[in-house]
Amino acid sequence: MRFFSLLLAPAVLFLASCGNDLALVSKDRARGSLGSAGYGREYDPATPSASVVSKGHALRKDKHGMPLYNGERLRHVRMTAYTCSEDDHLEYGSMNAAGTPLRYSQRVRSAAADWSVYPVGTTFKIKGLPHLYVVDDYGSALTGTGTIDLYKPSKQHMNAWGLRNVEIAVVRWGSYERSAKLLSGRLGYSHCRQMYAAIQRKNGGRDTAMR
């Protein structure tokens, strides 16, 4: 039994490090929150409204065929998920690109996006779900798209979300200035250069990072 505990301890420590403010619940309570499909209330966003989807049809599209918006707060968005135990995120552990711990609480959760589309600090809600999501991370696969990647505490949760097209409401826009300052020290990476250049174009060519 002691040997099993020694084996289990590193795994528990790693999972605990995978997110900040995680709420631990009993097995019975977890089963109740997951619903009959496995992840009912937690993974059951409302269907996007026809009016939001229709407005998106008239806009320019990204490589996934999803609308590229320009200031609209209600959006039809392609949404994926990731977790810190994925191979391409292991080196970053529980930290996001903004330099703070990834969040996954009952109130606020982390999300990744192209910072020239959703600048760091952008806060949004998904129609039908209660949580607030804050963009504090990015990923090379997201650059140049309107896709948002939701942080999940495990691969099981990540796979349960999969890929969905949902409606979001932007509650508060983040800061292009802060995004540019963070990106300006990472221009050795092509996706960071691309986001940085796109932010400068939005700012009329002025150096946002120096403001």
What CATH number did the domain enclosing 13 receive?
Answer: 2.40.40.10
Domain residue limits at 20: 2-174
211 in a structural domain? no
188 in a structural domain? no
187 in a structural domain? no
Give dist(CA 37, CA 171) in Å, integer: 30
- Report the amino acid identity of residue 18: C
Give dist(CA 207, CA 211) in Å, integer: 7
Token readout for 27 is 């097995």
The tally of domains found in the chain comes to 1
Residues of the chain below pLDDT 50:
1-17, 19-38, 210-211
Give dist(CA 66, CA 53) in Å, integer: 10
125 in a structural domain? yes
| 64 and 78 Cβ atoms separated by less than 8 Å | yes
pLDDT at 77: 98
For 117, the 3-state DSSP assignment is: coil
pLDDT at 43: 81
For 98, the 3-state DSSP assignment is: coil
- With the C-alpha atoms ordered 192, 198, 202, 206, is the resulting torsion angle positive or negative? positive
pLDDT at 86: 59
Token readout for 41 is 């209330």
Q: What is the pTM of this model?
A: 0.80
186 in a structural domain? no
138 in a structural domain? yes
Residue 118 phi, psi dihedral angles, 5° rounding: -125, 90
pLDDT at 84: 83
203 in a structural domain? no
71 in a structural domain? yes
